[in-house]
Amino acid sequence: MAYVANDHYYYPSAGMSVTACRVKRVADVIVSLLALIIFSPVFLLISWLIKHEDGGPVIFSQERIGYGGKPFILYKFRSMSVDSESDGKPALCQKNDSRLTRIGRFLREHHLDELPQLWNVLKGEMSFVGPRPERKYFVDKIKAINPDYELLYRLRPGLFSKATLYNGYTDTMEKMLERLRMDLEYMRTRSLWMDIKIVWLTAMSIFMGKKF
Give, rounded to a whole angstrom, the gap between the first and last alpha carbons of the chain.
32
State the pLDDT at residue 94. Answer: 63
| Alpha helices (H) in the chain, listed in sequence order | 18-38, 40-54, 102-109, 117-123, 136-145, 162-167, 173-189, 192-207
What is the C-alpha to C-alpha distance for residues 116 and 157, in angstroms, rounded to an integer? 14
Q: Give me the percent of the chain exceeding a pLDDT of 70.
A: 86
Nearest to 129 by CA among 94, 100, 159: 159
- Mean pLDDT in the chain? 87
Mean pLDDT is highest, among 10-24, 57-71, 96-110, 164-178, for 57-71
User: pLDDT class for 6, splitting at 50, 70, 90?
Assistant: very low
State the pLDDT at residue 3. Answer: 39
Query: Mind listing the pLDDT tens digit for each residue in 94-143?
Result: 666 778 889 988 998 888 999 999 999 999 999 999 999 999 999 999 99
Query: Mind listing the pLDDT tens digit for each residue in 7-18?
Result: 433 444 467 888
DSSP 92: P
